[in-house]
Amino acid sequence: MKILSVNAGSSSLKFTLIDMPAQVTIASGLFEKIGISDSFYTIKYNGEKIRKEVALPDHAAAVKELMRELIDLKIISSFAEIEGVGHRLVHGGPDFTETVILNDEVIAKLEENIDLAPLHNPGSITGMKAFMSVLPNVVQTVVFDTAFHSTMEKTEYLYPVPYEWYEKYKVRKYGFHGTSHRFINKTISEYLKRDDLKIISCHIGNGGSVTAIDSGRVVDTSMGFTPLAGIMMGTRSGDIDASILEYVSKKTGESLSELTNDLNKKSGLLGISGISSDSRDVEAAAKEGNERAILAQKMYASKIANYIAMYNNLLGGADVICLTAGVGENSSHMREMIIERIASLGVKIDPAKNDFRGEFRLITASDSTIPVYVVPTNEELMIAIDTMELALKNK
């Protein structure tokens, strides 16, 4: 069964074609600058990579071009080979707590909640409509980044603000990266052959979040009403004192919208280091002695470690800590910095075990109180698994 995992943005469309249930990636690619001049796409398959510049006036054109290329490149022989399309959506709001089959009713509900994720959801919904138009007879699903976190109790997902904000405006913690955290939970639970694990899952990439999981249920997560909350990230500030906004606005004359943009796109590693939002660039500068880069790395590691410690307490003691995503999987230095900062929990790194990139591995010493694993994430595969299961049910 061939499943397309799709992640559409306002001007982009990322896809992975996966053979299920074998879980083998057949092809992947990215269509960029959709609706903008100089649009192009790249497709990887059979160890090769092609790049083409082509006019892509809208997402429907991108989908048609994608399907044409899959045929022309003999990746598939006909559209009938595609038996499911799974769409990633950042925000499902309070209405969607699991993956659902896409239909007009679901689309209408998603459009009602666009104001909860105005930067992300519109592009994704446009991509969904494009695939529904081109592949009308194929089972299509929506996989929500927020869904995995829907098991949180009110004590964790409510903010201590006027209760009517929650009742009238849906203001609450939703959490994000849920598809990744769910994959990590599934992978480590299967590996350790336990379904009752207390897990601290750390998705550390350009965006980042930490999640406390107990027996497959999310207890708490660091991101909040939006992906801006929680740990320090590549360009996002993470948690700050909200009063700062009014103070800086009075000093600079910037609007609330402009300041929120600053917190989302000019803060985090970029804001502190003044060098880059890419942790690799910051790490390189720190090794050369750049003081702000060193400061940024220390702050980054401390923010993550503080959440790990807090969630260890919340869980009553974690059974395992997992590090994943770009930084978690590839930066041995940052992994070491984080673990050094949770030494009070009895966690001890093994430097020899930690010297690698991008693999599933245990990185702690034999006498560490909590084992720490690096678990490469695969959100596209998680989407494909959900889509396959729903497609089979609907046969």
The catalytic site residues sit at: 145
State the angle between helix axes of 121-134 and 59-72 in degrees (0 to 180), rounded to the nearest 10. Answer: 50
Alpha helices in the chain, H assignment, sequence order: 59-72, 104-112, 121-134, 154-157, 163-169, 178-192, 243-252, 256-265, 268-273, 279-287, 291-314, 325-330, 332-340, 379-393
Instruction: Please answer whether residues 84 and 130 qualify as being in contact, where contact means their C-beta atoms are separated by less than 8 angstroms.
Output: no
Burial per residue of 97-107, b for 16 or more beta-carbon CB atoms within 10 angstroms, e otherwise: eebbebeeebe
Instruction: Please answer whether residues 161 and 107 qualify as being in contact, where contact means their C-beta atoms are separated by less than 8 angstroms.
Output: no
CA distances for 72 relative to 4, 24, 67, 241, angstroms: 17, 21, 9, 54
CA distances for 383 relative to 111, 115, 145, 339, angstroms: 21, 24, 10, 31
Cα 162 to the center of its chain, rounded Å = 30
Joined together, the tokens standing for residue 217 give: 């249920």
- The β-bridge partners of 48 are 45
